[in-house]
């Protein structure tokens, strides 16, 4: 089985890399990516799904995880009514992910949270981003990634993980030898990841060809289906070579 989880960058204007991986390997696809997902949602739902797959006697699974923006988080809001978080038969519970700052000048002008965030929670999101630094969020993301790696190992599943979102400005400036980070970073190499401090799917492929929605999102736009096909080839190469 091919298992995919991520945000909107795991989707496309046609087939996505999950679809192409399924075709390349001849394996069925379970795609649990949802546009707007935070990394907290991606890690939590992936861990739960993989445990369920093992209980269902799925013994071979190639797990492909595309990480999201570090400045997204999730909240448990009873009966939040946001339909996309219910699309997989309520398996997100009442969690919903939100982007705490949708404006690039949030540091000087104040953060503007996702428009779909209930008004009651918007002050929290504005304060959350002010007290959450990229360094801490990325360190914690690599920590969670290392835990997921070991879960996959214990289940006998193969993991490939990478930053899908355009976060190069933040991840590339982090010192990989930081004591708080280096042991997590050392868990990853070309057998199980695309460099978690030096690679972004969006950054790489949007330099090859413009995103299909460039007019809406600029450099943060979404790679088209051709880019997804090429990236699936890269992922498959790592899955089969190592």
Q: What is the pLDDT of residues 29-44, one digit of tens each?
A: 999 999 999 999 999 9
Residue 107's pLDDT is 85
Q: Sorting pLDDT into bands at 50, 70 and 90, what band is 185?
A: very high
Please report whether residue 87 resides in a domain.
no
Rounded to the nearest 10°, the torsion over CA 141, 142, 146, 148 is 30
**Contacts of 206 by beta carbon, 8 Å cutoff, 6+ apart:** 166, 219, 221, 223, 227
Please report whether residue 48 resides in a domain.
yes
Instruction: Express each pLDDT in 43-60 by its tens digit.
Output: 999 999 999 999 999 999
Mean pLDDT of the region 80-104: 95
Mean pLDDT of the region 62-74: 97
Instruction: Express each pLDDT in 138-155 by its tens digit.
Output: 999 999 999 999 999 999
DSSP 27: -
Please report whether residue 102 resides in a domain.
no
CB half-sphere exposure, 146, CA atoms < 13 A: 13
Q: Does the pLDDT of residue 13 top 80, yes or no?
A: yes
Share of the chain above pLDDT 90, in %: 94
Residue 219's pLDDT is 85
Please report whether residue 95 resides in a domain.
no
Mean pLDDT of the region 209-227: 94
Boundaries of domain holding 209: 2-71+132-241
What is the strand order of the sheet 62-67 is part of? 29-31, 2-5, 62-67, 158-163
CB distance 220 to 202 below 8 Å: yes
Q: Does the pLDDT of residue 169 top 80, yes or no?
A: yes
Mean pLDDT of the region 13-18: 97
**Contacts of 25 by beta carbon, 8 Å cutoff, 6+ apart:** 2, 62, 236, 239
Residue 47's pLDDT is 98
Q: Does the pLDDT of residue 242 top 80, yes or no?
A: no
Q: Does the pLDDT of residue 241 top 90, yes or no?
A: no
In the three-class reduction of DSSP (H, G, I as helix; E, B as strand; rest coil), residue 176 is classed as: coil
Please report whether residue 105 resides in a domain.
no
Q: Provide the domain count of the chain.
A: 1
Please report whether residue 114 resides in a domain.
no
Please report whether residue 172 resides in a domain.
yes
- 233 versus 90: the higher-pLDDT residue is 233
Share of the chain above pLDDT 70, in %: 100
Please report whether residue 84 resides in a domain.
no
- The structure tokens listed for 17 are 């890399």
- The structure tokens listed for 57 are 């006697």
Residues 67, 167: Cα–Cα separation, whole Å: 10
Mean pLDDT of the region 201-221: 94
Beta strand pairing call for 62-67 and 158-163 = parallel
CB distance 7 to 32 below 8 Å: no
- The structure tokens listed for 72 are 């997204």
Residue 115's pLDDT is 94
Residue with tokens 């428009």: 115
Q: Does the pLDDT of residue 211 top 80, yes or no?
A: yes
- Mean pLDDT for all residues in the chain: 96
Instruction: Express each pLDDT in 94-125 by its tens digit.
Output: 999 999 999 988 888 999 999 999 999 999 99
Q: What CATH code is carried by the domain that includes residue 18?
A: 3.40.50.1110
């Amino acid at each position: 089985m091919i298992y995919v989880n991520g945000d909107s960058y795991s989707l496309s204007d046609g087939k996505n890399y999950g679809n192409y991986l399924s075709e390349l390997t001849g394996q069925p696809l379970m795609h649990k990516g949802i546009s707007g997902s935070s990394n907290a949602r991606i890690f939590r739902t992936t861990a739960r799904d993989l445990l369920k797959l093992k209980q269902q006697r799925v013994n071979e699974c190639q797990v492909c995880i595309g990480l999201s923006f570090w400045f997204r988080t999730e909240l448990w809001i009873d009966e939040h009514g946001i339909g996309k978080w219910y699309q997989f038969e309520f398996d997100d519970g009442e969690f919903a992910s939100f982007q705490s700052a949708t404006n690039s000048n949030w540091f000087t002008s104040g953060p503007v949270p996702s428009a779909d965030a209930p008004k009651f929670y918007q002050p929290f999101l504005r304060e959350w981003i002010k007290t959450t630094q990229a360094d801490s969020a990325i360190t914690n993301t690599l920590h969670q990634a290392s835990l997921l790696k070991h879960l996959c190992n214990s289940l006998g599943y193969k993991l490939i993980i990478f930053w899908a979102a355009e976060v190069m400005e933040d991840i590339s400036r982090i010192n990989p030898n930081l004591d708080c980070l280096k042991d997590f970073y050392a868990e990853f190499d070309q057998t199980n990841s695309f460099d978690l401090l030096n690679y972004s799917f969006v950054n790489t492929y949007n330099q090859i060809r413009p995103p299909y929605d460039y007019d809406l999102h600029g450099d943060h736009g979404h790679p088209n289906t051709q880019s997804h096909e090429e990236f699936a080839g890269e992922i498959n190469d790592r899955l089969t070579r190592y």
